[in-house]
Structure 1
């Protein structure tokens, strides 16, 4: 549990859903809901005003959609993380959100515990992908490899067996906590392994590490 609550801005054009999310999250001591917005344009103003750690962003909204708002936030407020939360899991939305700078992509059927865990991870700068979305990202990357398969290059410092296990679970969309449970490790130990994996792969985040691992035939 974080000592300081993660400050979250809720963004969705449906007032009832915003209120339900706020009710769900406000009872969690790890989370502080600092405000809400109904569209992307309003989000930009609210982020400047409220300085949230994470924006929980819907994608399909009037005035300015979530993709465009995410792109603006990435350029103008790089310290604020964006976590997409949407009903839609089609390829166009997934890849557009990630290209725009979202650190994660979740569907609205996610459990409350998983959502809180994802918000905490996003605040730490970790990528968070729903397993079905992670699988889709890797599948799309595999298609690109089929068109022009690169020759796998050895890493300067190879991954250990344990780091390979962590990488494969990470690529399946596992959070640090889920990886720790699967490997019977402490969550802090997993965090250290993830840091080492990112460094050895030259990846800036978990999504890039999964893609890099796939390119090298490690995943």
Structure 2
């Protein structure tokens, strides 16, 4: 096992100081090892030092760290709510060859945060194509589809989400809303009830159920 791999194992074990020491040894031995800079940046990010972490990711990018360096920088900028800068990093990661579900998902999430959900949709769809078992990607993709008025497609993605994660209250809530728009009250109530069962203080689900059942009572 080389030292970078050893350091990653120490990170996985939560031994941050030991991991940092290993990565620093690698950097001192080979100042052009981009992977070591990425790994050291990941340690700094994990222990709550994002400013220094970003400097290490930037150094890794300069050294040709490729998609992994851009992705790490993007994830950190996203956490700092610098969504436009994060988007640029995730886009650069894709152009550098990092064609992963996580990268497409994070790029899509940046676009959502920037109030451009329509632009996010193709990236979220690609994330789901690459990892069909990612419940959160399915959920976010379903939301975007619903916002674009594609209810059947949205229901399909949201249903896949709850098939994987049956306790995803927000997915059940949005399924309930989608079925309500399609005037399928029984199915809407099934999912709203499930959302409330999972999360009793889910105000949106509680209020939507009250509106639907009140409206139904008025009709009757």
What TM-score does the superposition give when structure 1 sets the normalisation length? 0.32
What TM-score does the superposition give when structure 2 sets the normalisation length? 0.32
The structure with the largest alpha-carbon Rg is 2
Higher relative contact order (CA 8 A, sep 6+): 1
Higher helix residue share: 2
